[in-house]
Amino acid sequence: MKKALTLLLLVILLASSVYAAKWVGPLKTRHSWDRKESGFCPGPGMCLVTASPDADEDFNGMPSKYFSDPPGPKCINDGQYILDYFCEDGKWTTRTKLIGLSLLDFAQTKSNDYVLFCDDYESALNQYEYIVGSGGNTKLVEDLFRDYRCEQPNSTTRTTCTNHFCVLKYLGGTAVGTSLNTAVDDEDYSFLFALNHSIDACDNVQASTDITNWRQCTGWAKTGRVYYNPALKSIIYFSSSAAPVITSYTAAFDSFIKPEFDDVNTYVENNVADSDVSALNFTFFKDTSLYNRWYYSRQLNKYVFGFLEKDKTEFGYDYLGIKYSGYDFGADACDNMFKQYGERNMGRGVFCEGQSGSDFFVVAKGARNSESPLIDAWQDLDSKLRPK
């Protein structure tokens, strides 16, 4: 009898502990933003910062600890970010992608003639006059974006003051956007200095958790308009009296990026990929998600979509994918137009064979810091074939 009561008590205790436990379902494997590490996060929607055993799980959901107490948290929450890397429902993307989508969402309401290019400072802003005008202090701009380093809160760690830039050219003007790694009103390194303005231009903008909330900086006293997004800690300058109108990044992604990437990925799967051959192993390709280097241009029924990812996976690959739509390149386009970029290594790593029709795809892969001429020339590939 005593044994039976003991067994019953044990069953009751086990049942109560199961009932009290919070069931979150099977854990999904998460990857670091460079896809070099993998592991698990304790909650749905979280992103893996590092799989290092030295990471402190008590810091989970605290991005600032990445700088103040390295290696910092193991995971951060959906909607949080570290530098440019933004956690989006368990997967890493970038604030740069969200800025680019905000600009494209605006552009397509104006006309079907526009160009967006997102990349690092030196690639995207090859003419400083984009943002400072002919009378601006270009030396200050160069210092801010290339040389200066901003100290992170509660830390001696210094990082770049801005991340990648997106430049939009549209009928009627130009827009430039970037995400910030310091306060918009930083007394020493405010991005507003690059716009040749004092740091009080955005003092009217209140804190917000809505990442689509672009608010006009009413203290702006020069030509054009400036908008600040406090949730993304990002800023956009329009040369005209324009305004970002985005209401859903998911809808914008599904409109501008997803269908084009899916087409490129289908070409890779059907014409390039062979997981048994190292040079043709593109198993990582389908997981592209950062889009901090990407391009989208349209004129009437012609458009170009392209992206470049650098130093990804444990092998440190650089790779790109481009889709040209509405073009007629001719039968020898692959050899004559694109393989030539790989002539130093006999075209290896450049893939564009087996195509016909109005859509044309180009894919390239190369090891980090090795010869990858097509990847080095990706900006030229996109811009020289601007729809006409």
Question: How many CB atoms within 10 Å of residue 217?
Answer: 23
Q: What confidence score (pLDDT) does residue 251 get?
A: 97
- Alpha carbon distance 166, 293 (integer Å): 9
Q: Which amino acid is at 172?
A: G
Q: What confidence score (pLDDT) does residue 348 get?
A: 60
Q: What confidence score (pLDDT) does residue 142 get?
A: 66
Q: What confidence score (pLDDT) does residue 151 get?
A: 87
Q: What confidence score (pLDDT) does residue 371 get?
A: 54
Q: What confidence score (pLDDT) does residue 148 get?
A: 82
Burial of 369 (0-12, 13-18, 19+ CB in 10 A): exposed
Three state DSSP letters for the chain = CHHHHHHHHHHHHHHHHHHHCCCCCCCCCEECCCCCCEECCCCCCCEECCCCCCCCHHHCCCCCHHHHCCCCCCEECCCCEECCEEEECCEEEEHHHHHHHHHHHHHHHHCCEEEEEEECHHHHCCCCHHHHCCCCCHHHHHHHHHHCEEECCCCCCEEECEEEEEEEEECCEEEEEEEECCCCCCCCCCHHHHCCCCCCCCCCCCCCCCCCCCEECCCCCCCCEEEEECCCCEEEEECCCCCCCCCCHHHHHHHHCHHHHHHHHHHHHHHCCCCCCHHHCCCCHHHCCCCCCEEEEEECCEEEEEEEEEEECCCCEEEEEEEEECCCCCCCHHHHHHHHHHHHHCCCCEECCCCCCCEEEEEEEEECCCCCHHHHCHHHHHHCCCCC
Angstrom CA distances, 308 to 74, 275, 312, 324, 339, stand at 27, 21, 11, 15, 18
Tens of pLDDT, residue by residue, the chain (388 residues): 444 434 433 333 333 333 333 334 568 999 999 999 999 999 999 999 999 999 999 999 999 999 999 999 999 999 999 999 999 999 999 999 999 999 999 999 988 999 999 998 888 876 545 555 544 555 556 666 777 888 888 888 899 999 999 999 998 899 999 999 999 999 988 989 888 788 999 999 999 999 999 999 999 988 889 999 999 999 999 988 899 999 999 999 999 999 999 999 999 999 999 988 888 889 999 999 999 999 999 998 899 999 999 888 888 888 999 999 998 887 788 888 887 765 544 446 789 988 877 899 999 888 765 555 666 667 666 555 454 4
Q: What confidence score (pLDDT) does residue 105 get?
A: 96
Angstrom CA distances, 51 to 30, 38, 47, 74, stand at 10, 6, 11, 6
CA angle 124, 128, 132 (to 5 degrees): 125
Query: Which token pair is 101?
Result: 């989508």
Q: What confidence score (pLDDT) does residue 155 get?
A: 83
Is residue 159 within 8 Å of residue 149, measured between CB atoms?
A: yes
Q: What confidence score (pLDDT) does residue 147 get?
A: 73
- Alpha carbon distance 234, 181 (integer Å): 9
- Alpha carbon distance 254, 246 (integer Å): 13
Q: What confidence score (pLDDT) does residue 188 get?
A: 86
Is residue 381 within 8 Å of residue 362, measured between CB atoms?
A: yes
- Alpha carbon distance 118, 122 (integer Å): 11
Is residue 164 within 8 Å of residue 307, measured between CB atoms?
A: no
- Alpha carbon distance 14, 22 (integer Å): 14
Q: What confidence score (pLDDT) does residue 359 get?
A: 93
Sequence-separated contacts (24+) of 200-209 with Cβ below 8 Å = 201/226, 202/226, 202/228, 202/235, 205/230, 206/230, 209/79
Burial of 302 (0-12, 13-18, 19+ CB in 10 A): middle
